[in-house]
Amino acid sequence: MLDRRDFVLGSAGIAALGLSSCGGGGCGPDGCGGPIVGSASLAAPNVPDDSTLTIPATIELGFGSPGAIRAAAGNYDLGAGAKAGALLFNRQWPAPTLRIAPGASFDVTLDNGLTEPTNVHWHGLVAPSAMDGHPMDVVAVGAGKRHTFVINDRPGTYWYHPHPHRRTARQAYLGLAGLLLVDDGHDAARGLPTGPRDVSLLLTDKRVDNGVLDYSPGMMDMITGWLGNVVLVNGKAAPVARVEPAVLRLRLLNASNARILNPALSDGRMFWLIATDGGLLDAPRAVNNVLLAPGERVEVLLDLGRDAGTSVGFVSAAFAGMAGGTMGMGGGSVPSQGAAFDLLRFDVTALLTGGPGTVPSAFEPIVRYDANLAAQRTRVFELTGMNGMGSGWHRINGLLYDGARIDFSVPLGLLDRWQFVNRSSEPHPMHMHGTQFQVLSRTGGALPTDLGWKDTVLVRSQEMVQIALRFDAAGEYVVHCHNLEHEDDGMMLNFAVL
């Protein structure tokens, strides 16, 4: 074990830590929220004061425990009172967290209580194609669908959200997004924080004015993707968590429609990256920021062992080199891609209970694909932006999505090499259904997240990223940009694994 300073969230339980928890019986149509505990600087004007960090309710799945999630209209509360206009799973803002063990039987029924078709994609899990949430496989209004399959994925942080073609961006933005944790129960043996020291944070930027949520994309918003003026953390703007001076594990999901985030500590100190989309790295890596594109997840360890009696900010630090518009619907400005945001404030005031923990030195090794191995084939995907009015600005190999067309096939069980070549002025986070992959190379300079298993990879403007992947489940899947406005506009292809 490394001799490191430590930092822990909470003590005996969530209620004692200054965190609020959404319980199944305590949530009404306006979702769940915690008490207001003060105020802090915010990244945008006209956003209500901050509040206690909310911990979403957890639904335990597997081994004979089926689950149910109902998508329906509901209310949200950003501190200015309950407002109509949200779309919620189980009437909760944010959505409940699903938890399951590797090898368990996943069994979840989606009930569509919306006024439009929807479905659910288990983002990052290798699900059978009939259970994966293909954009053309939707659940009709008033109907339901049962999803059953065995979890063969590595322990890690995954998530779930709707995926109906041309409806994904709006439905996910208005609240239909939640975390999904695959947990093998061995993290304590790995030396990792568990229980209340293991905190999941759903990060998503929103356009908010005086507590009212806006989603009204115009032409420029469809080109750049919908960018907000505040980043919510578990459904709240700049919340506060009272914590112990010990090691804290944060599971970070960027569930934004288009905004790339750059999590960092406000004083610039180092922390440890321990996991990417598909689970743990082979060892912690010290970083002081980590770019996180829409759809990507990371897990990090924070060390606040010497910060007792102080407050520490967790932010999305400013960064350069990304295109992104600043004009919204009606000409109103919003922070551009790369702008800084406050995320969360840790008040290191709770008494230390138990050992503070340490930062592990290593985890299980990752079996690496051989970059020099002759793959079955090398497939090139050119990402382009088209000029003109109307839809269809963003394309893959010159094509717009057609749900009835199979664009290419992939051999079952054989290694493929894919190259994403971004010839546009916009960044594109590319996501594959049906597998996890490894990044082999990129021309724009390596990112820390390239080190682990991935299902979503950021391809910056004028950059080429090469990945290695293999599909072990036959069926029809999609590859698409996880800028959700780009996806809805047609930046997606069907492929068949045969």
Instruction: Say whether both 175 and 199 belong to one domain.
Output: no
Write down the pLDDT at residue 146: 98
Residue that is last in its domain, among 148, 182, 216: 182
Instruction: Say whether both 177 and 216 belong to one domain.
Output: no
Instruction: Say whether both 154 and 113 belong to one domain.
Output: yes
Instruction: Say whether both 326 and 434 belong to one domain.
Output: no
Write down the pLDDT at residue 355: 85
Instruction: Say whether both 127 and 83 belong to one domain.
Output: yes
Instruction: Say whether both 156 and 129 belong to one domain.
Output: yes
Of 134, 142, 130, 31, the residue nearest 77 (C-alpha): 31
Write down the pLDDT at residue 323: 58
The pTM assigned to this predicted structure is 0.89
Instruction: Say whether both 155 and 236 belong to one domain.
Output: no
Instruction: Say whether both 76 and 126 belong to one domain.
Output: yes
Residues in the chain, pLDDT under 70: 1-50, 323-332, 371-376, 387-391
Indicate whether 92 belongs to any domain.
yes
Write down the pLDDT at residue 197: 86
Domain count, the chain: 3
Residue that is last in its domain, among 155, 182, 209: 182
Indicate whether 392 belongs to any domain.
yes
Write down the pLDDT at residue 321: 72
Instruction: Say whether both 159 and 214 belong to one domain.
Output: no
Instruction: Say whether both 332 and 481 belong to one domain.
Output: no
The β-bridge relationship of strands 297-303 and 247-254 is antiparallel
DSSP states of 84-113: EEEEEETTBSSPPEEEE-TTSEEEEEEEEE
Of 335, 350, 298, the residue nearest 19 (C-alpha): 350
pLDDT tens, 186-227? 999 999 999 888 999 999 999 999 899 999 999 889 999 999
CATH of residue 261's domain is 2.60.40.420
Indicate whether 287 belongs to any domain.
yes
Bridge partners (DSSP) listed for residue 348: 243
Indicate whether 202 belongs to any domain.
yes
Indicate whether 90 belongs to any domain.
yes
Domain that holds residue 410: 378-497
Write down the pLDDT at residue 371: 65
Instruction: Say whether both 319 and 425 belong to one domain.
Output: no
